Amino acid sequence: MESDIRILAEGLMFPEGPVAMADGSVVLVEIERETISRVSVDGSVSVVAETGGGPNGLAVGPDGAFYICNNGGFLFRTVAGLNRTRPGIHPGYTSGRIERFDPRTGTLTTLYERCGDHPLCGPNDIVFDHEGGFYFTDFGKNRLRDRDHAGLYYARADGSMIVEVAYPLTTANGVGLSPDDRVVYVAETETARLWAFDLEEPGRARKHPYPSPHGGRLVCGLPGYQRFDSLAVDAAGNICVATLVTGCITVVAPTGEVMRQVMVPDGMVTNICFGGADMKTAYVTMSGTGRLGVLSWPEPGLRLAYS
């Protein structure tokens, strides 16, 4: 399915984590530039904060601050004309971390660098529930000859609590919540599998038995060489997953059917968010070409807890 996408901004350095703001702007991260940036309605780009490392996911919390999944830094290369990440460790890497940026004071603080005895390796995507906590994925790190297991975590915005929800996953990337906050969805990049974790309470999922490798419930998997990135959920509960290589947004029903694929002119489309008065405006980050696109969406997106 072809889209009527319009390019809102260009020259971005591996954009990800878009958040649609009330004033019509979009705040996102530029992983390679190591910043939180704002794209205004006219397409102009300004730096909101310099984070260092690799800001990867972004969400607005209950206090109006931005919460950042910082993967600690990526390495990059150009493949077939597209900017892409490559295996290896950023020279400034120390750990992954969850950060909080207060736009009122300009203060950037680190909330979490570990869960219990285990350091965070590469936090990737984040979503808040209506209880004031947030779920986030840890993608891990890809080194030249090996890679980390990935995980799903839940934490409080005040830095007081972090727990492991599911482990191990394989390259856990996008994360989103169902409209009733009872299911958390996780997209795995290399397997192109979408998992559901049925929640008994915030931060605790009911474990599904073998053959599930981590207690999740398999929603769907894509054929061929397709790869999942980040995601958003629409108001009807469908999961809209940025799909690498194919260059599209794959819309998946909660029951697992692939409803459609909306094509995007970039094989490295990495994320989607919804905005506008009717929530029918979709913004997509096209990281391979460094662009932010905007298009009309047929159904309203789910209004996030604090955005």
Mapping DSSP onto H, E and C, the string for the chain reads: CCCCCEEEECCCCCEEEEEECCCCCEEEEECCCCEEEEECCCCCEEEEEECCCCEEEEEECCCCCEEEEECCCCEEEEECCEEEEECCCCCCCCCCEEEEEECCCCEEEEEECEECCEECCCEEEEEECCCCEEEEEECCCECCCCECCEEEEEEECCCCCEEEEEEEECCEEEEEECCCCCEEEEEECCCCEEEEEEEEECCEECCCCCCCCCCCEEEEECCCCCEEEEEEEECCCCEEEEEECCCEEEEECCCCCEEEEEECCCCCEEEEEEECCCCCEEEEEECCCCEEEEEECCCCECCCCCC
pLDDT band at 3 (very low <50, low <70, confident <90, very high): confident
pTM value?
0.97
Encoded tokens for 48: 């909101």
The annotation places the binding site at: 124, 173, 229
CB-side exposure of 130: number of CA atoms within 13 Å? 10
pLDDT digits (tens, 9 = 90+) for 55-89: 999 999 999 999 999 999 999 999 999 999 999 99
- Residues known to be catalytic: 229
* 110 DSSP β-pair partners: 99
Q: Which CATH architecture has domain 6-296?
A: 6 Propeller (2.120)
pLDDT digits (tens, 9 = 90+) for 160-192: 999 999 999 999 999 999 999 999 999 999 999
For residue 293, pLDDT beyond 70: yes
pLDDT digits (tens, 9 = 90+) for 191-220: 999 999 999 999 999 999 999 999 999 999
Report the pLDDT averaged over residues 105-113. Answer: 98
pLDDT band at 2 (very low <50, low <70, confident <90, very high): low
The annotation places the binding site for substrate at: 124
CB-side exposure of 239: number of CA atoms within 13 Å? 30
Residues in the chain: 307
Instruction: Show me where the domains of the chain are located.
Output: 6-296
pLDDT score at 214: 97
Q: Which amino acid is at 121?
A: C
